[in-house]
Structure 1
Amino acid sequence: MAASRDASDRDSSRRNTADQNSGGGKSAGHSGGGKSAGRTGGGRRRQGDDQANGRSAPLHPIDSRERPANVDAERAVLGSILLKPDVCDDIALIIKADDFADESHQVLYGHLLELHDSGKRIDSTIVLERLRTQGDLERIGGVAAIAEFLEAVPHAAHAVHYAQIVRDKAMLRSLIDASTDILRDAYDASDEPRELVSRAESRIFQILEHRSSAEARPIQAVLEEVMIRMDARMKHEHALGGVETGFTDLDSLCGGLHNSELIILAARPSMGKTAFAMNVAEHVAIATKQPALFVSLEMACLELADRLLCSSAQVNGHRLRNGTISQEDRRRLVQKSAEISSSPLYIDDTPGRTLTEIAAVARRLKRKQGLSLIVIDYLQLIEPDNPRDPRQEQVAKIARRLKTMSRELDIPVLCLAQLNRQAEASRDNRPRLNHLRESGAIEQDADVVMFVHREEYYQTTDEDRERVKGQAEIIIAKQRNGPIGDVKLLWQSDFTRFVNLEHRPYDEFEQFSSF
């Protein structure tokens, strides 16, 4: 209790000193009348004058305030480790060295962690000798400082609580740093406002993500979830398993699209990958009524809507574009439009999106509406955060962050990708993993890699095209947790739509991926 009162007195003294230095005395710390109110009113008048004269309002002097810190809690953490080294593991899960506001505390904490990690004993004598040997004794305040740390501990049993105080103060400092950067970026206005807002949101989210104190879970708790999910799947409660694609054999082979997984759907241009992805999103949002987000970096929203309507209503898309549809076609389109309008399908067709922006859109949507699936069309059109990086490195970073996003949001991410020209140079024209364009990191980070293949596309004579007309395959080339194989589908080019062709039992898919 004494340490807490001392800390409170010191904090109060520091606040009063800071207020006096800023010219306001004690009244500066309050929002009421007196000098504080007068100064606030003057600030508002000056800001109004600046705006009237076309000048930007001055940046609020955040740096003049003392940064949040609780030095007594920091000293209590260090003293607790010296008195009771067993608490080191618990504390290490909560705070890092740079979470300490005092540099000398950072130095000592680093040494204590290194001693603990190396399996050496921790006591005053050993710590002092280590500090002398490494030339850091004076940096922490000399021999007397160790005794002061030991005296600063009210109760060593409360070490975790002290560490949580240190962590919370560090979070506040991180928030101040992020806010200062956000303000500076906004005043500089060196980037587009949308990019600045997206970057600001990402920076704030990172503070929470980096402060996660999640611990290892006991296998008993994990297995309980496995059993619940297993029973749900046996009862065909698909919402608790994979998200249905609507393609029977594909769902049989993969068990649907699973949460936290990155699924890459790749093909050469004009093979139908956008159509297939839209068919999946349509089934998820319309048939199963689960929210789905379709991020289109290539096609405009109206163009996608045309495709979606024609596919769903089975109306020739070419006739719709030419305005030559019949009254019966129009009736079906109007009927399907009403049905689709009530579905939780969301489309973002903003060109040049970065992955930071896409993640921000997805987070907002999940927070407000829930989200079961993200489709991104397509990977190579995602704007890199650093355009100066080599292209292969850009794609590798995007692939890694796509996987991270799927885990963070705990939903499947279906991302389309282009194949390189080697796919067309092979004798049978069939795509393979090494045909993924620009980076092997795509294959590495993906949980599932699927290819769209239509032999009809490669035929040069009318006779050969007619022989394989409408035949399509979804080739599962990689599945981290299941078999690989081919799924036969029917391609309806008039409606830009894939449909189920046949049903194969799961036992036929015997070959398992070795990834």
Structure 2
Amino acid sequence: MLQPQAPELEETILGACLIEKEGMALVDELLKPEMFYVTRHQLIYAALQAMFHAGTNIDILTATEELRKRGKLDDAGGPFYITQLSSRVASSAHLEYHARIVHQKYIRREMIVGFSKLLTLSGDETIDLTDTLVDAHNLLDRLEGACGHNRQLRDMDTLMQATLVEAEGRMRKNKDGVTGIPTGLTELDKMTGGWQNNDLITIAARPAVGKTAFALHLAKAAAAAGHHTVVYSLEMQGERLGDRWLLSAGE
């Protein structure tokens, strides 16, 4: 059976990390070297991640030198392959999305290996059933943990490096003072700079004072700015939300 894999996306991720300053900051917490399917990609990512944590500038030349110091340059495909990776991507626009796909492929491979082992253990009556159930429980715990963002403790140097890279990215995206997703409300945008990554926004008010209408306005503003938007409601059907959306857009 063909193992779940996405080698082309692995190449794209590595290429983006080589040419984009914020590349590693976007994927560092999500991906580990062993999550790459291709062995040489594991070697390259391990080197890039070590450089990122050490605060070393990452580019084709420094990455090649790091692999050479590790004695892994030939195993990683050599200087030509490293250079070739940088031509696989134009920007890091979809880097996080690509990283999540690679992450999910890794989890599926781990599921195949883990469940195959459990299948064998389940048929072996010489093994205590309780031990097999414990193995099954541990496997599910490990897979569930892997489905998260793999957040790890970071020292202040690493945290501030990632913070500065993110801040520089926001400055480049700055449009009329809005560095995040616009709210559609000028004064609110001035105060917040728009909704930022990882923001959790809570709208609280008395019943029937316009919370849903306000939330729909925010969703419309995000969609109008080109951001994918989804609205869930436990209070009304989709058609009623659609009515309110249409009415808010009418004269």
Shorter-chain TM-score: what band? 0.5 to 0.7
Distance 1:207 1:170 in 2: 10
Runs of 4+ in 1 over 4 A off after TM superposition: none
- Per the alignment, residue 77 of structure 2 pairs with 141
> Is 1:208 matched with 2:141?
no
> Is 1:94 matched with 2:30?
yes
Distance 2:71 2:151 in 1: 35
Aligned-residue offset at 1:214: 6.8
RMSD over aligned Cα atoms: 3.1
Distance 2:122 2:40 in 1: 35
Distance 1:214 1:133 in 2: 28
Aligned-residue offset at 1:148: 1.9
Alignment partner for residue 71 of structure 1, among 1, 4, 7? 7
Distance 1:156 1:87 in 2: 6
- Per the alignment, residue 164 of structure 1 pairs with 100
Pair 131,202 (structure 1): closer, same or farther in 2 beyond 3 Å: closer
Aligned-residue offset at 1:149: 0.9
- Per the alignment, residue 87 of structure 2 pairs with 151
> Any unmatched runs of 5+ in structure 1?
1-64, 225-515
CA offsets 1:199-238 (integer angstroms, 9 cap, x no match): 213312321113311769x9x97xx9xxxxxxxxxxxxxx
* Aligned counterparts, 1:104-123, within 5 A: 104-123=40-59
Aligned-residue offset at 1:194: 4.1
- Per the alignment, residue 82 of structure 1 pairs with 18
Q: Percent identity?
A: 22
Aligned-residue offset at 1:94: 1.1
Distance 1:215 1:131 in 2: 26
Contact 2:64-2:73 at 8 Å conserved across structures: yes
Pair 128,186 (structure 1): closer, same or farther in 2 beyond 3 Å: same
Distance 2:3 2:142 in 1: 20
Aligned-residue offset at 1:152: 1.8
Alignment partner for residue 187 of structure 1, among 116, 120, 123? 123
Counterpart residue type for residue 127 of structure 2: D
TM-score by length of 1: 0.29
Distance 2:96 2:52 in 1: 17
Contact 2:52-2:58 at 8 Å conserved across structures: yes
Aligned-residue offset at 1:190: 3.0
CA offsets 1:146-184 (integer angstroms, 9 cap, x no match): 122112225421111111111010000010111111012
Contact 1:76-1:154 at 8 Å conserved across structures: no
Pair 206,131 (structure 1): closer, same or farther in 2 beyond 3 Å: closer
Pair 89,178 (structure 1): closer, same or farther in 2 beyond 3 Å: same
- Per the alignment, residue 58 of structure 1 pairs with none
- Per the alignment, residue 164 of structure 2 pairs with none
Q: How many residue pairs are counted as aligned between the two chains?
A: 162
Distance 1:152 1:190 in 2: 52
- Per the alignment, residue 64 of structure 2 pairs with 128
Aligned-residue offset at 1:189: 2.7
Report the structure number with the largest CA radius of gyration: 1
* Aligned counterparts, 1:438-453, within 5 A: none
CA offsets 1:374-418 (integer angstroms, 9 cap, x no match): xxxxxxxxxxxxxxxxxxxxxxxxxxxxxxxxxxxxxxxxxxxxx
Counterpart residue type for residue 55 of structure 2: G
> Any unmatched runs of 5+ in structure 2?
153-196, 203-251
Higher strand content, 1 or 2: 1
Contact 2:20-2:91 at 8 Å conserved across structures: no
Contact 1:76-1:153 at 8 Å conserved across structures: yes
Distance 1:208 1:154 in 2: 33
